[in-house]
Amino acid sequence: MIQDTLHLKAPGNWINDPNGFIFYKGQYHLFYQHFPFAPRWGTMHWGHATSPDLVHWQHQGVALFPTKDYDQNGVFSGSALEVDGRMQLYYSAVRYRQINPEDIHCAGQDDFVTSQAMMISPDGKEFDNWNAKRQIIPVLTDRVIGDAKHTRDPKVWKDGDRYYMVLGSTDGAQGRLLLYRSEDSFQWEYAGQCASAEFGWMLECPDLFRLDGQYFLIGSPMGIPSGPKYHELAMYAPVDFDPASCRLQLRGPMTCLDWGMDFYAPQTTLDQQGRRVLVAWMRMPQPVPASADGRGVWNGMMCLPRVLSEEKGQLYARPHPNLEKAYCRPVQLGDVDNTRPYRLRATLAEGEQLDIGGYRIWVEQGCLHTDRSRVFAGCQGYRLQAATPALEQPRCRLDIFVEPNLVEIFVDEGRFVLSSVVYGLEKYLEGTTIESMYAADPESPRDRSES
């Protein structure tokens, strides 16, 4: 089985959203949307990977795949919960009403219906796709509640004695968040909804959680223009939520979780220490060729796990502390060639710049800017430049993680993050304000202890 260090990548072919992210029985489990037959989106399966520390990942193969009438065309995104020692996986089940005759992995005329389903695994290892699934919320027929086609991505949690679920949906024109609750985690009742222009025309992959007493909603609204090819970005907002009534209201407009163009469909869980950790899918316009380690042609990866915190109503995202342990071997400028992962700390003031093998980072008019036009060859029509909102201080502090297909920039201790997919970084690194660099030590013994 393929192993990944640092970034979890497609084991070959296609992956998209993170699913079922959970710390369960001593290890982290991260499932993902997976099309195992080609490096493009198609009939969705759940691929499965495990990690002792969120740094070293072991791919475990396909866990969930279509077997039922209701999920025959796809096991879409969802989440995981531990109940009485079992691993319960909640997902959206897709059934096409028409098949595209030339491509059975896509619906004809985009005509499909969606219900919500679950799978019970006794141990996070065995996934009985024939006997351990059940449908829990049938296809919606009441348009007042939500859409028969576009209602999906159950995120489930427990609070007190009750279980809660959020789903993304639409009334056809505007996005909605649906709330369900349950006494036993199997029988679900509709409990309310929240509609907002902030949700675009449809809200994908919602996640609702509390951080230091404040609830936050994250989600991926569709149809909010952000660039020529990607019309969607992942957003968040502080919300008022009352679990007793299931009333939810946004406290303000939604804002970006990451200011690059590729970060989408994030999902959070609690780590072993109770920290709120987030991972997201990094969209890639082109597949990467097969490599010597046995990985076939692949498309899609996860960002580094990020720890969320709340500061003055804003979400900060910092690299998980276990990553700091992994990037531990100091290196010199001359040793860096951008073909192996490393971490770089630098500061930048107005007019200063860093050039990571053709990926440029600079500060202009009080904002951090990036340009990947020299390392994105052949990806036509995608946004090449990105920028953060206004920085707080004239000199910003950068903590940057570089690997051949992804650059993640943590700005001012996680106040902003900007990540970019890249192709073909050159072998140099230039910048006058680089302070230190650390290589990732993939060979280091797996460290189970947490900081």
33 part of the interface to ligand FRU, by CB under 6 A: yes
Site for ligand FRU contains 205 (CB under 6 A): yes
Q: Return all residues near 112 (Cβ < 8 A) that are at least 6 apart.
A: 73, 94, 95, 96, 97, 149
Amino acid at 363: V
Pick the binder of ligand FRU from 13, 50, 73, 77 (CB under 6 A): 77
Assess 71 for contact with ligand FRU (CB under 6 A): no
Strand order in the sheet with 112-121: 74-83, 86-96, 112-121, 133-137
Report if residue 50 touches ligand FRU, rule: CB under 6 A: no
CB of 177 to ligand FRU, least distance (A): 13
Instruction: Supply 145's token pair.
Output: 């509640």
Q: Does 43 bind ligand FRU (CB under 6 A)?
A: no
56 binds ligand FRU (CB under 6 A): no
Name the residue nearer to ligand FRU (CB basis): 117 or 265.
265
Q: Is 185 in the site for ligand FRU (CB under 6 A)?
A: no
Q: 3-class SS at 297?
A: coil
Task: Tell me the closest approach of the beta carbon of residue 35 to ligand FRU, in angstroms.
Answer: 8
Residue 287 beta carbon to ligand FRU: minimum distance, rounded to whole angstroms: 17
Applying CB under 6 A, what is the total number of residues that bind ligand FRU?
13
CA distances from 59 to 11, 63, 279 (A): 7, 11, 16
- Please tell me the distance from the alpha carbon of residue 442 to that of residue 446, in angstroms, as a whole number: 9
Which position among 44, 166, 279, 391 is part of the footprint of ligand FRU (CB under 6 A)? 44
**By the 8 A CB rule, do 167 and 180 touch?**
yes
Choice among 17, 147, 262, 399 that is catalytic = 17
The answer to the question of residue 198 lying near ligand FRU (CB under 6 A) is no
Q: Does 268 bind ligand FRU (CB under 6 A)?
A: no
Smaller CB distance to ligand FRU: residue 173 or 333? 173
60, 34 Cβ separation under 8 angstroms? no
Out of 30, 140, 239, 265, the residue judged to bind ligand FRU by CB under 6 A: 265
The answer to the question of residue 92 lying near ligand FRU (CB under 6 A) is yes
* CA 451 – CA 436 distance, rounded (Å): 22
Closest approach, Cβ 281 to ligand FRU, in A, equals 7
Q: Which CB, 106 or 211, lies closer to ligand FRU?
A: 106
Element (H, E) at 264: strand 263-270
First to last CA, the chain: 29
Which residue in 16, 268, 370, 420 binds ligand FRU (CB under 6 A)? 16
Distances (CA, A) of 140 to 36, 143, 175: 29, 7, 16
Which of 10/409 has CB closer to ligand FRU? 10
SS3 109: helix
Smallest separation (angstroms) from ligand FRU to the CB of 152: 5
Q: Is 169 in the site for ligand FRU (CB under 6 A)?
A: no
User: CB burial class (10 A; 0-12, 13-18, 19+) of residue 329?
Assistant: middle
| Closest separation in Å from C-beta 400 to ligand FRU | 26
- Helix, strand or coil, per DSSP, at residue 57: strand
Contact indicator for 361, 398 with CB cutoff of 8 Å: yes
> Is 17 among the catalytic positions?
yes
Closest CA to 239 of 231, 249, 230: 249
Exactly one of 29, 133, 152, 295 binds ligand FRU (CB under 6 A); that residue is 152
Using DSSP's 3-state secondary structure scheme, residue 375 falls into helix
276, HSE (Cβ side, Cα atoms, 13 Å)? 20
Question: Cα dihedral angle (188, 189, 191, 196), rounded to 10 degrees?
Answer: 70
Rounded to the nearest whole angstrom, what is the least distance from the CB of residue 33 to ligand FRU in the complex? 4
Name which of residues 116 to 135 contact ligand FRU (CB under 6 A).
none
Of the two residues 344 and 406, which places its CB atom closer to ligand FRU in the complex?
406
Shortest Å distance, C-beta 111 to ligand FRU: 16
The answer to whether 204 contacts ligand FRU (rule: CB under 6 A) is yes
By CB under 6 A, tell whether 153 contacts ligand FRU: yes
By annotation, the residues acting in catalysis are 17
Residues forming contacts to ligand FRU in the complex (CB under 6 A) are: 16-17, 33, 44, 76-77, 92, 152-153, 204-205, 264-265
